[in-house]
Chain A
Amino acid sequence: MTASTAEIRNYTINFGPQHPAAHGVLRLVLELDGEVIERADPHIGLLHRGTEKLAETRTFLQNVPYMDRLDYMSMMQNEHAYCMAIERLMGIEVPERAQYIRVMFDEITRILNHLLWLGTHALDIGAMTVFLYAFREREDLMDVYEAVTGARMHAAYYRPGGVYRDLPDAMPQYQASKKKNESDLRRLNENRQGSVLDFIEDFSRRFFGYVDEYETLLTDNRIWKQRTVGIGVVDADRAKALGFTGPMLRGSGIVWDLRKMQPYAVYDKLDFEIPIGRTGDSYDRYLVRMEEMRQSNRIIQQCVAWLKTDATKGAGPVISDNHKVAPPSREAMKSNMEELIHHFKLFTEGMHVPEGECYAAVEHSKGEFGVYMISDGANKPYRLKLRAPGFSHLAGLDEMSRGHMIADVVAIIGTLDIVFGDIDR
């Protein structure tokens, strides 16, 4: 071989599955021409637990905690879709108070998810500070999760027919320790004197300012724009063809949000707007998600206001009174034979969902999360198919990253907002 005909070969490199920018366990096989991506082949399934198959061997109630572990960054929204599917098949009405609690927690979850996305996306691109700020706010919302459900992440709070219990009257406070003195405690506990709702209200009042703070760090930042403007462009028709939903679709300029278009729960009674992008690049999707946080915060404020002035003064039911679906109260169960039988049957055999099939979808933080359930009348689902938004988005990675530099793949993975819990299921 002479020097003039030097062989030019494409490189194939392996990215992940343990790369910090892979957001979990993504293995990418990248075919490179120099530093330019020719082909990206994602290998997924490293977190495949077979949730759908497991669900076929568990009762309907036992499956609720599995939903948290799908997209483990938007726990309660997954539960919402699952419970909605059961409720539709059984024809159960969910009490209004439970609907408002659900919507409020859906939006808290959306903020939690977007904060994590923002922090890690910025961190991947090289902006460290946003991550620290985003996690500061996540901590407050995690405390809300914990106060209401006892768990910081895997809540299992939504149940078919409503939510597990009403919001508690007191927000847990920090306790004295070696590291926290009197004045620290006073400062930390200042907004925790009232109920959980007071704490959420206080948070939502502060949160608009926080979003502005993140924006001052990134929106006009030259490096941020260089790394995101014009990266991973998807036009509107292509976004539809690839099955994109959520911010990925709205970033390309399509006005589509299930909360407005096919409202579920009480979204039709709330006032909020749908932000859309123009060019369909990573920067537009960033802007869309930032605005979504503000809109979510508005929804939270409206829900708090409703829950505080509820006509039943907060004494209304938060779960259906049909004891084939929801357990009777503890006191009733201890004193009444009928209720005791209901309780026993519900927690051993479980509920029976009538024969049929149903698709229930929610506007999840990442896109449309759908639960397609087939029941044959047994106490366990016959088939449960979970439609994860990230699955379609990651399938589009190949097309989005073609022709970009290798460093842009990280920016594109970031903008897809993927979590492997729901892609691998």
Chain B
Amino acid sequence: MPLTPEVLLERVIDTLGDKVLTSKIAQEQITIEVPVGDWLEVCATLRDTPVLAFDLMMDLCGVDYSTYKDGEWAGQRFAVVLNLLSIKRNHRLRVRTFCADDELPILPSLMEIWPAVNWFEREAFDLFGIVFDGHPDLRRILTDYGFIGHPFRKDFPISGHVEMRYDPELKRVVYQPVSIEPRVVTPRIVREDNYGAA
């Protein structure tokens, strides 16, 4: 039988102690936040503690919080979120850490702990510019060869900066500044609390 989220969270806090900055249970899912300095240690503990045994790294992604709630966000800009799964114990956990520096977000790579993070870290680097220290092969992964910028940052426009076309005179494809006018069909609106909740 899987543990209830409350019991699991208690065990996580027992194991990690004051390394857990905040914790939350919502929709029966646990989210904990840990300091970036303890990132490697926390992850190794989560994997190796027998009562927790998070043996599968499901997902690692970057998040850019800069426009959260239309700019009400005051904390650090970039976060990395890990979604972990324990096959042995059948439970899940979400771990978040905020990168200390908004200009150069950097945190240690988890390659030694879960080899599966390899491409996930490359992706977060490519799309958000988060640098994973110690990653053996931190190349871009999803964007084009020679791409400039980090497209999933909130200040990167949805239409991009350049477009590509075939130039019949040069007989090759060329890049030029994008010609699409940005347009918003449905504006983004944040309503008061519980608007639309069942």
Contacts and interface: CB of A to CB of B under 8 A. Distances in A.
Nearest to B64: A383
Contacts of B49: none
A58 B194 CA distance: 21
Interface string B56-70: 111101011000110
A280 B90 CA distance: 22
A76 B142 CA distance: 25
Residue from B27, B63, B193, B196 with most neighbouring chain A CB atoms (10 Å):
B196
A53 B127 CA distance: 10
B198 A372 contact: no
Contacts of A392: 116, 119
B28 to A, nearest CB: 8
A352 B196 contact: yes
Contact of A356 (B26, B87, B118, B144): B26
A117 interface: no
Contacts of A48: 142-143
Interface in A175-192: none
Interface stretch (B4-12, B34-42, B162-170, B182-190): B182-190
Contacts of B151: 50, 53
A72 interface: no
Contacts of B115: 241-243
A89 interface: yes
B87 A256 contact: yes
Contact of B59 (A54, A59, A89, A370): A370
Contacts of A52: 152
A361 B61 CA distance: 15
A261 interface: yes
Interface string A149-164: 0000000000000000
A354 B194 CA distance: 6
Interface in B15-41: 26-27, 29, 31
Given A50-B151, A241-B115, A261-B90, A57 B58 contact: no
Contacts of A242: 115-116
Interface in B153-198: 158, 184, 186, 188-191, 193-198
Interface residues of B, number: 49
A18 interface: no
B90 A45 contact: no
B162 to A, nearest CB: 14
A53 B152 CA distance: 6
B92 interface: yes
Contacts of B2: 262
Dominant secondary structure at the A interface: loop
A378 interface: yes
A355 B59 CA distance: 21
Contacts of A359: 29, 59, 83, 92, 94
Given A45-B144, A368-B58, A379 B94 contact: no
Given A372-B61, A379-B188, A395-B116, A91 B197 contact: yes
A232 to B, nearest CB: 17
Contact of A53 (B90, B140, B158): B158
Contacts of A350: 186
A92 B58 CA distance: 26
Interface in A1-58: 44-45, 48, 50, 52-54, 57-58
B158 A425 contact: no
A254 B193 CA distance: 44
Contact of B198 (A92, A262, A379, A387): A92
Contacts of B92: 359
B102 interface: no
Nearest to A388: B59
Contacts of B193: 354-355, 377
A376 interface: yes
B196 A351 contact: yes
B186 A58 contact: yes
26 contacts: A44-B141, A45-B144, A52-B152, A53-B158, A90-B197, A92-B198, A240-B87, A241-B55, A243-B116, A245-B58, A262-B90, A325-B198, A349-B186, A357-B94, A358-B26, A359-B59, A359-B92, A359-B94, A377-B190, A377-B193, A378-B188, A379-B191, A383-B61, A385-B61, A387-B83, A392-B119
The 5 A-B residue pairs whose C-beta atoms are closest, nearest first, are A243-B116, A352-B196, A45-B142, A387-B59, A385-B61
